[in-house]
A and B are shown apart, each in its own frame.
Chain A
């Protein structure tokens, strides 16, 4: 399965890439929402996108809205992984079309459990 990691922090992308590889995903990285949309256009839809909220150029929420609004990757599950943890923010991400939400800091088993909830657990 293919996962797209969308985060402006290089350190965070590395942590997520390592974690997702351990969970059985091949990963591609993007620096912000706009970059991620280009990656989808080039590589085709991914099975999963892990998306940060606060990023330059296009933030995570806008990315989710664009993906869901343009139907460019309807089958792609989107998990927001972010420091934003106010209930209103979490609710906004879900109503924009995110499938799950993980609050930083997170652990591998937490991310894995969230993927299981949205039917992306690998054997």
Chain B
């Protein structure tokens, strides 16, 4: 999956020329994360193939997509909104019913990126479920990139990042100014553990989970890897437990161990009980 130095340099030059964007050395992970889905959607074998087509074909739609993918930051707070509504109206109430005895809730976010998703989940819990106050909540958030995990742990975001989808009342409640940036307040930050983890490599022990978030990451993988990841999730998700995928992702044709449940405008997948 790693990008070759010459290919990275080519993408850097392209971005500088087309979008006046300077990509520093060390941002290879960003190019990989953003351009792999583009490579797949254009039928390329991988990033090497994509850059070869850019170099020698220079097809306008491909160039445009590459520049857009590198300049549009897709990560936002409450991304797509509806999954977080479904979390509040269906998934957490159901989990509270199931786990009422032991008062324990275990969640995993498998593509934490720069942290907006796990922190959004925590804000939903804090805002909507005061009854969870006495519960033992374990929330693990992982990402393949150690840079991203460091950013998640720092919990520090620019104003540009804070603008993207963050309701202002929640900004004031859960963040504090830190120079020109905003920082997640400790009370929220200490409720999640961030770690590196490669979804395509053997997984560490995750225990039994109630809710898994794996949104907008399956698009990076080929079909056998997607199947293997979904099978892995079924092994760690308790029967009846919930899986969130990205809006363009599905278990359809990959794994029939999940039941597709529609809640409002969101689709959530449930580990079949049988």
List residues of chain A with CB under 8 Å of any chain B CB. Answer: 85-87, 90-91, 94, 100-107, 109-111, 113-114, 116-117
The answer to whether residues A106 and B165 also contact, given A90-B171, A90-B172 and a CB cut-off of 8 A, is no
A94 and B164 contacting across the interface, CB-CB below 8 Å: no
- The stretch of B9-17, B93-101, B155-163, B239-247 in contact with A is B155-163
Q: Give the residue name and chain of the A residue nearest to B159 (CB).
A: A103
The answer to whether residues A113 and B165 also contact, given A87-B172, A87-B177, A90-B172 and a CB cut-off of 8 A, is yes
The SS class assigned to the B binding surface is mixed
User: B169: CB under 8 A from chain A?
Assistant: yes
A107 and B163 contacting across the interface, CB-CB below 8 Å: yes
User: B146: CB under 8 A from chain A?
Assistant: no
A-B contact pairs, 5 of them (CB 8 A): A94-B168, A101-B168, A103-B159, A110-B165, A116-B81
Bound form: Cα–Cα A102–B165 in Å: 10
A91 and B160 contacting across the interface, CB-CB below 8 Å: no
| Chain B interface extent, by class | 10 to 19
Q: Give the residue name and chain of the B residue nearest to A81 (CB).
A: B163
Bound form: Cα–Cα A94–B172 in Å: 10
Bound form: Cα–Cα A117–B168 in Å: 10
Instruction: Find B160's partner among A90, A105, A117 (CB 8 Å cutoff).
Output: A105
Cβ-closest 6 pairs across A and B: A110-B163, A113-B165, A103-B159, A101-B168, A110-B164, A106-B163
User: B167: CB under 8 A from chain A?
Assistant: yes
Bound form: Cα–Cα A94–B170 in Å: 12
Bound form: Cα–Cα A24–B160 in Å: 23
User: B176: CB under 8 A from chain A?
Assistant: yes
Tell me how far the C-beta of B51 lies from the nearest C-beta in chain A, rounded to whole angstroms.
Answer: 27
* Residue numbers in A under 8 Å from B172 (CB-CB): 87, 90-91, 94
User: B120: CB under 8 A from chain A?
Assistant: no
